[in-house]
């Protein structure tokens, strides 16, 4: 008998993301992280804890390393999954769920690429904010904000932003 959908899918209650595969590693603060099956035994040998980062407004999985010269370094789980050390490129969580540490969700990026992929927190949609009784459309291009225009509705602002983004040359 095939497993039920409930056992095949795991849902991160913090973000609502659904994990179709992978194993859960418990963290502190009632959190857990998801890793690929082939990485589970190697990663589960250590005690991982949840660390809240103010900038991205997300939890990350982290562990303490053995002391070196009297200092205790820390290792982020997503860097451990990819075998990265200090000085290696940044890692981007493509679905923005920093506790989804499956290899299919991780990609190597430079610092600029990682900053450009930060999620938008606007309730009106990506690149739209309300100013008075108008809606402004904006976009981040090469780490700078570009004002696209001011519109009467959030929908008009979203459409103008989308048109602007399609007019940009592809990289």
One pLDDT digit (tens) per residue for the chain, 171 residues: 344 444 444 555 555 555 557 899 999 999 999 999 999 999 999 999 999 988 778 899 999 998 999 998 999 999 999 999 888 888 988 888 899 999 998 999 877 666 666 665 556 666 788 888 999 988 767 667 788 899 999 889 888 988 887 787 754
Residues 84 and 141 placed together within one structural domain of the fold: no
Total number of domains in the chain: 2
State the pLDDT at residue 4: 41
Residues 17 and 99 placed together within one structural domain of the fold: yes
Token pair 């982290």 is at which residue? 62
Q: Given CA atoms 48, 19, 53, 103 in this order, what sign does their dihedral have?
A: positive
- Please check whether residue 122 lies inside any domain of the structure: no
- Please check whether residue 39 lies inside any domain of the structure: yes
| Residue 57, domain CATH | 3.90.75
State the pLDDT at residue 152: 93
- Please check whether residue 143 lies inside any domain of the structure: yes
Residues 143 and 72 placed together within one structural domain of the fold: no
- Please check whether residue 102 lies inside any domain of the structure: yes
Domain that holds residue 159: 128-167
State the pLDDT at residue 95: 81
Residues 109 and 137 placed together within one structural domain of the fold: no
Residues 95 and 149 placed together within one structural domain of the fold: no
Predicted TM-score of the model (pTM): 0.61
Residues 74 and 136 placed together within one structural domain of the fold: no
């Amino acid at each position: 008998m095939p497993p039920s959908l409930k056992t095949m899918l795991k849902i991160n209650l913090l973000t609502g993301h659904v994990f179709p595969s992978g194993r859960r590693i418990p963290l502190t603060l009632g959190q857990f992280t998801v890793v690929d099956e082939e990485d589970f035994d190697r990663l589960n040998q250590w005690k991982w804890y949840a660390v809240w980062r103010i900038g991205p407004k997300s939890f990350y999985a982290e562990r303490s390393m053995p002391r070196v010269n009297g200092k205790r370094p820390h290792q982020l789980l997503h860097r451990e999954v990819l075998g990265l050390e200090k000085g290696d490129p940044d890692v981007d969580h493509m679905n923005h769920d920093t506790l989804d540490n499956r290899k299919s969700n991780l990609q190597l990026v430079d610092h600029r690429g990682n900053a450009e992929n930060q999620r938008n927190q606007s309730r009106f949609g990506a690149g739209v904010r309300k100013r008075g009784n108008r809606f402004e459309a904006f976009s981040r291009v090469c780490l700078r904000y570009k004002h696209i225009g001011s519109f009467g509705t959030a929908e008009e602002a979203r459409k103008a932003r989308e048109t602007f983004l399609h007019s940009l040359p592809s990289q």
